[in-house]
Amino acid sequence: MARTKTGPRGRARRNKILKLSKGHMNRHSKCYRIARQRTEKGLQYAYRDRRAKKGDFRALWIMRINAGCREHGLTYSKFMGGIKKAGIELDRKILVDLARDGEAAFKASFDTATAAIKKAA
């Protein structure tokens, strides 16, 4: 009995991998076996880093809020504690926008937070 080759379906599968590996260097984009290994690894990195990006942005926002707080003479942790005590429900992304663009609004939230800290103490 004759052996069966995958035919059009296999060619389509290989072409899909080679298309995904476009942009890789040398044999990583030309040879199917190597391209498949590199493509799978690249997809693993993409999956991992889509989740890591969220933590990276949170760290960036915390640094920027801390810089804004220290200009007014308070640390990040005390400021965030005051925000929670004051009942202000702004997330870090919005606080960064306020610190960067809306200086008056950030100052108002800062004053509210410091008043909540003094009231609690």
Phi and psi (nearest 5°) for 25? -95, 150
Look at the domain 8-120 and name its fold: c-terminal domain of poly(a) binding protein (1.10.1900)
pLDDT of residue 103: 85
| Sequence spans of domains, the chain | 8-120
Identify whether the C-beta of residue 39 lies closer than 8 Å to the C-beta of residue 17: yes
Identify whether the C-beta of residue 106 lies closer than 8 Å to the C-beta of residue 67: no
pLDDT tens-place string over residues 40-93: 999 999 999 999 999 999 999 999 999 999 988 889 999 999 999 999 898 999
CA-CA distance, 103 to 88, in Å (whole number)?
17
**Cα angle value 89/91/95 (rounded, 5°):** 105
The counts of H helices and E strands in the chain are 5, 0
Identify whether the C-beta of residue 78 lies closer than 8 Å to the C-beta of residue 115: no
Report pTM. Answer: 0.76
